[in-house]
Amino acid sequence: MKTIDDLIAEGQVEGKRVFVRADLNVPLDGTTITDDGRIRAAVPTVARLAEAGATVIVASHLGRPKGAPDPKFSLAPVRDRLAELLGRQVFFGTDTVGDQTRQALDGAAAGDVVLLENLRFFPGETSKDDAERGAFADRLAALADTYVGDGFGAVHRKHASVYDLPARLPHAAGGLIATEVGVLRKLTEEVARPYAVVLGGSKVSDKLGVIDHLLEKADRILVGGGMVFTFLKAQGHEIGRSLLQEDQIPVVTEYLERARAKGVEFVLPVDVVGATSFPDLETKAPAEPVTAPVDAIPTDLIGLDIGPESRKLFAAKLADTATIFWNGPMGVFEHPDFADGTRAVAQALVDAPAFSVVGGGDSAAAVRILGFDENAFGHISTGGGASLEYLEGKTLPGLSALEN
């Protein structure tokens, strides 16, 4: 696929309006951004285009508004943070494709940046109807001369600004997408071994596709988080009141059997940390954690993290690797009593000689919340869902649109 280097060489940037589909879907506490990682990731491409003489139109979604304006999903706080990071004024198109936005663009000069209000305030952005989605893409295309796709966290969505808009304008991939795709190729096509995959999170059903695909590629698969209790149940263990997806036990059992047949090492925790009630994540009140081996989990225990012996085991299994992909926390890391497993895995990635990839989403948030230096990892992805779908071997609409 083309890159912004190609667009600059072809004269598609200087003096042009360049539409950048970024992923600025950051977590908010009211109007306070609690993790600005995705904004920081968008800055290099926006700055490069502005410095190359473009009027840069930046667009993104935020949250899940229901196809209409909703103040709690406004990108206004993002505009302020983007301006700080860029070190230049960012104008705001408050009606996205309306008169105010067009006036802002008419008054913009080369090097100016205009952020559009939330794309999902319009039903056409996410519509499953091709005509409705296409009509919204037409309105977006009327704002710009050129398109740059740089919102990796949205490329698995067949949305107007991601899939339909590139077909209407000269287009290329931004620096972030080029980097993300290059990293994912190292996890699928050019893998240095031993290759370990660490999976966590709450539901095993969210990871079935990636497990299925990676059984053909990985040397080791380590599983923690709430999803692990379905695996433990499949092995005949009592899991107390821990999260269980009982309907997935046959699938999990088949995966364990396939792993044995293929010589893929499946590593599960040997102990867990839990409590008799779910912890208060708002007050962070002490939760009286209990540690138990996996073959002696009390019937009233809710498993909330991997245990101390499991942390040592996981670290040992990652210590000699050449490639690591990690997606999903090992427990309820938002509470200090149940963050040690996730912290231990993050530290193991830092300590290992491997090229380490943190697969976006909660894993990336955990790295920041727990105070790790992002530069200590090989790569921290901006798109958890997109990364997983790529690793499942799926076609991502936003990438295919840029390749055409």
Domain limit, last residue, from 113, 146, 178: 178
Q: Do 195 and 174 belong together in one domain?
A: no
Burial label, 30 (beta-carbon count in 10 A; 0-12, 13-18, 19+): exposed
Are both 169 and 205 inside the same structural domain? no
Q: What number of CA atoms fall less than 13 Å from residue 156's CA on the CB side?
A: 15
Number of domains into which the chain is organized: 2
111 is in an annotated binding site: no
Note the pLDDT of residue 197: 96
- Say whether both 196 and 339 belong to one domain: yes
Mean pLDDT by 10 residues, the chain (404 residues): 94 96 94 92 97 98 95 97 97 97 96 98 98 98 98 96 98 95 90 96 88 93 96 96 95 96 96 95 91 97 97 98 96 95 97 92 89 93 87 92 93
Residue 185 known to bind ligand: no
Q: Which long-range contacts (CB under 8 A, 24 or more apart) does 137-141 make?
A: 137/161, 137/164, 137/165, 137/167, 137/168, 138/168, 139/97, 140/19, 140/59, 140/97, 140/165, 141/19, 141/165, 141/168, 141/169
Task: Give CA–CA dist 372/304, Å, rounded.
Answer: 22
Claim to verify: residue 92 and residue 229 sit in the same structural domain: no
- Say if 65 falls within a structural domain: yes
Catalytic amino acids? 38, 203, 361, 385
Is 402 inside a domain boundary? no
The reply to whether 157 and 216 lie within a common domain is: no
Which secondary structure element, helix H or strand E, spans residue 49, and what is its range? Answer: helix 37-51
- The reply to whether 361 sits in an annotated binding site is yes
**Domain range enclosing 206:** 191-391
Q: Let me know if residue 400 belongs to a domain.
A: no
Contacts of 309 (CB under 8 A, 6+ apart): 270, 271, 293
**301 lies in some domain:** yes
- Report how far residue 395's alpha carbon sits from residue 404's, in angstroms, rounded to the nearest whole number: 13
For 353-396, the DSSP string reads SSEEEE-SHHHHHHHHHTT--GGGSSEE-S-HHHHHHHHTTPPP
Is residue 398 included in any domain, yes or no? no
Give yes or no: residues 108 and 229 share one domain: no
Q: Which of 151, 178, 205 marks a domain boundary?
A: 178
What pLDDT sits at residue 99?
97
Q: Which of 178, 204, 231 is the last residue of a domain?
A: 178
CA angle 312, 313, 318 (to 5 degrees): 100
On whether both 173 and 231 belong to a single domain, the answer is no
Q: What are phi and psi of 206, to 5 degrees?
A: -70, -20
Task: Based on the fold, state whether residues 195 and 144 are members of the same structural domain.
Answer: no
The answer to the question of whether 360 is labelled as a binding residue is yes
- Whether residue 332 is contained in a domain is answered as yes
Rounded-to-integer distance, Cα 169 and Cα 146, Å: 5
401 part of a folded domain: no
CATH code for position 335 = 3.40.50.1260
322 lies in some domain: yes
Q: How far apart are the first and last CA of the chain?
A: 8
287 and 347 in a common domain: yes
64 known member of a binding site = yes
Residues 161 and 299 in one domain: no
Query: Are residues 288 and 313 part of one domain?
Result: yes
Same domain, 343 and 366: yes
Question: So what's the pLDDT on residue 337?
Answer: 96
